[in-house]
Structure 1
Amino acid sequence: MTRDGGSGATGVDPQQLWLGHDRPRRGRKPAFSREAITEAAVALADAEGLEAVTMRRVAERVGAAVMSLYSYAPDKETLLELMVDHVSGELPAAPGPTGDWRADLRAVAHLQRDLMLRHPWLPAALSTRRVPGPNTLAFLERALAALRPTGLDGVARVEAFAQLTAFVAGHVAHELAQASAARSAERVAAESRYLAAVAADGRHPELAEVLAAPGRALDPEATFARFLNRLIDGLGTE
């Protein structure tokens, strides 16, 4: 995104972003750091959502002039890259593959889900970012190591990790939407009556069978684990 929040045409230069920021600066020591700016942006997104993150709001949080931030993050797109990699640093270091790639991959997915639930803006951010930073790369290493026993080649392992991440992000986004929806008892009852009427019309036998079956308890952890197992089992068939 550009400085005013619009889409940028040039994108982020990953070498400049991740490998050039540690060069010593000449002149007076700055009053704040790129890490402080990133932490302020993350705190703002956690509290108010991704749309609330603007250079002006972040500058207010760190007590700086807006223009002074642009030498650290020239646009919101760059700031978003910094934010994603910053929270990825919360992911614990890999203990090393156990040899059970399915169990290791489940652990990876559950860590991702926990991170996204702590930072609800993260699923949306992951859909637009493209430049893995050091913390993201460290977690990618963990996932690729976990997938090695599958026998998949390098490209296929990267694809599998991307598929896993997309699944987790989509699932968490759905979880968060469901949790925030105002589902009153009246609304639930109305939906149940509607589905019962549809199932009884004779034109939806598959739906009627599903609705007639005993329902599962609404357990977000169990639902995630069930869907995740299906995905991982599918990876093992390649």
Structure 2
Amino acid sequence: MVSGDGPGAGGIDPQQLWLSSPRPRKGRKPAFSRAAITAAAVALADAEGIDAVTMRRVASRVGAGVMSLYSYAPDKETLLHLMVDHVSGELSPPAPPTGDWRADLKAIAHAQRALMLRHPWLPTALFNRRWSLGPNTLAFVEHALAALRPTALDGAAKLEVFSLITGFVARLVADEIAQAALAGSPERAAAEARYLAAVAADGHHPELAEALSAPVRPLTPDATFARLLDRMVDGLDTGT
């Protein structure tokens, strides 16, 4: 989902995490796997939020003792890296790049938004850490870089554009989720509207007053996302 690697990625050794197989404890073959543990953690986060994910809760979901999980995910930080890469597997590129890099970038952004809405904990998780690129994430990054091949950008700049788009999507989805929560509280929404109206009328914020008096554009989440995404991608300077 985002760029970031190396030992600084939350203390994670990416080579050990992604290129080495987990070593289960000696004795009877366990009834679970790292994939099952990760899937259980994702399901828990989807249902209750990222803060609900603890090694004890995940162990309970897979029917294991807490200590037996540590051979597969030695700490919650590692588990979170596994979770992000696990859900990134849902970002299977729908088709090879078309050659229209702007259209392809927008398709990438829409796919990321759909993923984050399915997993509402993901935007917050992405903001709070520097992520190591697991195999599913790498596959999607490869697709994004291929989409940017028609531009005049060098490799580093292409990675920056991908990170920019990912951060843009995460920020908008986080706002979308917050707005949905606000819509579920009419009193709070009404209080916010009254406050902004009072601020706009106090004479000290003429620019805000003018902005709030402008004709209202479609405010559905889909329309807002598409409009802002167009503004972002169409305004990118790639030297072409």
Structure 2 length-normalised TM: 0.88
Correspondence 1:84-233 to 2 at 5 A: 84-127=84-127, 128-181=129-182, 184-233=185-234
User: What's the secondary structure of 1:202's corresponding residue?
Assistant: coil
Q: Does 1:11 align with 2:11?
A: yes
CA 1:28–1:149 in structure 2 vs 1: closer, same or farther (change >3 Å)? same
- Contact 2:44/2:53 (<8 A) preserved: yes
**Runs of 4+ with >6 A deviation:** 22-26
State the one-letter code of the partner of 1:83: M
CA–CA distance in structure 2, aligned partners of residues 184 and 65 of structure 1: 40
- Contact 1:80/1:129 (<8 A) preserved: no
Match of 1:3 in 2: none
Q: Return the structure number with greater relative CO, CA threshold 8 A, min gap 6.
A: 2
- Contact 1:14/1:131 (<8 A) preserved: yes
User: What's the secondary structure of 2:99's corresponding residue?
Assistant: coil
CA–CA distance in structure 2, aligned partners of residues 220 and 18 of structure 1: 36
State the one-letter code of the partner of 1:11: G
CA offset at residue 34 of structure 1? Answer: 0.4
Q: Does 1:81 align with 2:103?
A: no
CA 1:110–1:10 in structure 2 vs 1: closer, same or farther (change >3 Å)? closer
Correspondence 1:1-40 to 2 at 5 A: 11-21=11-21, 28-40=28-40
Structure 1 unaligned blocks of 5 or more: 1-7
- Contact 2:120/2:177 (<8 A) preserved: yes
- Contact 2:22/2:34 (<8 A) preserved: no
Match of 2:4 in 1: none
State the one-letter code of the partner of 1:201: D
- What are the Cα deviations for residues 153-196 of structure 1, in whole angstroms up to 9, with x where unaligned? 00000000001101111110111011112565554444444433
Structure 2 unaligned blocks of 5 or more: 1-7
Root-mean-square deviation (CA, aligned residues, Å) is 2.3
User: What's the secondary structure of 2:115's corresponding residue?
Assistant: helix
CA offset at residue 216 of structure 1? Answer: 1.9
The count of residues paired between Structure 1 and Structure 2 equals 231
State the one-letter code of the partner of 2:56: R
CA–CA distance in structure 2, aligned partners of residues 81 and 72 of structure 1: 12
CA–CA distance in structure 2, aligned partners of residues 24 and 190 of structure 1: 55
Single out whichever of 37-46 and 194-203 deviates more from structure 2: 194-203
